Amino acid sequence: MRLQKYLAHCGVASRRRSEELIQKGLVAVNGKVITEMGYKVTLGRDEVTFMGSIVMPEDQHVYIMLNKPEGVITSSDDQFNRKTVIDYVATSYRIYPVGRLDYDTSGLIFLTNDGSFANQMMHPKHKIPKTYHALVKGKPNSEDIEAFERGLLIDGSYTYPATMKILKEDDFCLLEIIISEGRNRQVRKMCDAIGYPVCQLKRVAVGNILLGTLQEGEWRYLTEEEVWKLKEQSIFK
């Protein structure tokens, strides 16, 4: 099997992207860095590593995106028998949510049975951007926005720099907020810190995957291309 095909088969990247990884000298076979296209490996005999980690063929993995409604628990089950994100997805695979969305927050969340993918999405070092639409009372001024974007002290430590953009103005203001962390109730706490409590919050994108027209409570499988894009974004941050 050609090396780039093997990498794709193992879920490292798409075949085309795998060729780029090989050219960059990030892939080794039996301890030797391989940069030539068309190099062949034998399943079960050759040891292939990517950036120092052994890669092996993966089991059947599934990747799902759900538009979580408010009032739904981000968990596989709940001791109080409240509705969970799993209740919305009809699949025979044993899946679990990637990260979490607060009970009173709606929007995009991934579910999968791929532990490696979940870790890539959640690990702080990868800084995967998460985009939210927040409805707040009043209108933040330029100083508020600058403070927000520098990072705010919440729960004893400063947040990573974030972005805030005003989408609509009225008695209530609709904000677009992008963070690259996943702290507990982070967007709400950051808005509280500048004096604009969140009335309603929705996550509309994770990385380069947009919620789009998916309605609340609806779900779909991610395409192969979407999965590759997310994996590549986390690897090459």
The DSSP H or E segment spanning 142 is helix 142-150
- Return the CATH architecture of domain 3-54: Roll (3.10)
114 φ, ψ (degrees, to nearest 5): -105, 100
Instruction: Tell me how far apart the alpha carbons of residues 155 and 161 are, in angstroms, rounded to a whole number.
Output: 16
Domain ranges in the chain are 3-54, 63-124+213-235, 129-206
Reply yes or no on whether the pLDDT at 236 is more than 80: no
Q: Is the dihedral of CA 100, 115, 160, 148 positive or negative?
A: negative
Three-class secondary structure of residue 16 per DSSP: helix
Q: What pTM was computed for the model?
A: 0.76
Domain 63-124+213-235 has CATH 1.10.760.10: no
Sequence-distant (6+) residues with CB within 8 A of 145 are 164
Asked if 63-124+213-235 and 129-206 have one fold, the answer is yes
Q: What is the pLDDT of residue 11?
A: 76
CB atoms near residue 94 (< 10 Å): 9
Instruction: Tell me how far apart the alpha carbons of residues 137 and 123 are, in angstroms, rounded to a whole number.
Output: 32
* Mean pLDDT confidence for 108-131: 88
Active-site residue list: 102
Q: What is the pLDDT of residue 226?
A: 92
* Mean pLDDT confidence for 32-54: 88
Fold type of domain 129-206: Alpha-Beta Plaits (3.30.70)
Instruction: Tell me how far apart the alpha carbons of residues 97 and 200 are, in angstroms, rounded to a whole number.
Output: 22
Q: Where are the alpha helices (DSSP H) in 10-141?
A: 15-23, 115-122
Mean pLDDT, all residues of the chain? 90
